[in-house]
A = this chain, B = another copy of it.
C-alpha cells in the first residue's frame, strides 16, 4: 500500500513554517500500515500543483493526499489545479454550496460577519473537480473532496491543520494498510562505522531492513539508534536477537527502545488545538 503526500503553499517553500501537515499525515498513514513513498511540497501555482499530482499518479499509489490551497482567496487554487491535472471541469457542488451557505448564515447569526451573501470567493469554496465527492469540513467553510482515478484514491484536504486533521479522521476508515513491524535498539557506541558490517550481516542473513540513526544530546554520551523493520514478525524477532547478540559479544551495550518514543531534533507537538486552527475564523 503506497501513498504520497503533496502539500501546497509558498510559505513552506519560503521556509517560513515547518511542514507539520506532512509530518502529521505521514505518521498517521504509517500507523495505518500505508507506506508513504514521497512527500512533495509545491507553491501556490497551478502548473506546479498539476505536475506534482500527475507525477504522483504515474507512480501507481493507492492513495494521494493533497493538502492546502482550498480557501476563498486567489492564492487558493488547489481544486482548480486538481481538475486541470485530471482534465476535468471545476464544478459547483450542490452539497458543498449548502454547507458553505450554512456556515456563513450561522456566522452572521453569531455576529461574526455582517453579510452572508454568496460572493464569488465564498462560492469558490464549494467548487470541486467534476466527478469528485465533496467531504464536509466541520471546522471551516472550504469544502474538501475525494476522487478515484484508476486505482488511486485522491483526497484533497485543507491546509489549516485543525481542519485537515478533522477531515482526515472522518475518512480514515476508508484507508486500508498492511501491518508492518519494527523494533528499535539503543546502541552504546561512538562509532557508527564500527557496527556497519554487523548491520550488513543482519540484512544478508534475514533480509530485514536496518536503519541507523546516530544520536547526540548535550550532556549525554553518543549513541546510535538502529531500527529494524519487516512485515514478518518472526523474522524480525530472530534478526533482532541475532543483532543484539552480535553487538553484545563485541562488548557493545544495547537497550531495546519503546516503539512510540522517537528522537527528533526539531520535535514539536502537531495537534489540532485552537492554536493551530489557522483559518478557523470560518468556523460558524
Contacts and interface: CB of A to CB of B under 8 A. Distances in A.
Number of identical protomers: 2
A194 B113 contact: yes
Closest 4 CB pairs of A and B: A15-B27, A15-B26, A121-B196, A222-B281
Given A194-B113, A196-B73, A199-B73, A211 B39 contact: no
Contact of A17 (B125, B267, B276, B277): B267
A24 interface: yes
Contacts of A279: 192, 214, 216
A75 B190 contact: no
A18 B74 contact: no
Interface residues of A, number: 92
Question: Most chain-B Cβ atoms within 10 A of its Cβ — which of A27, A199, A200, A265?
Answer: A265
Contacts of A115: 194
A112 interface: yes
Interface string A174-205: 00000000000000011111101101100100
Interface string A192-228: 1110110110010000011111111110001010000
Given A11-B211, A14-B26, 9 more contacts: A13-B36, A18-B264, A38-B43, A44-B211, A115-B194, A141-B193, A265-B276, A265-B278, A266-B268
Contacts of A75: 209-212
A128 interface: no
A122 to B, nearest CB: 5
B37 A43 contact: yes
A40 interface: yes
B278 A270 contact: no
Interface in A16-74: 16-20, 22-30, 35-44, 48, 52, 55, 71-74
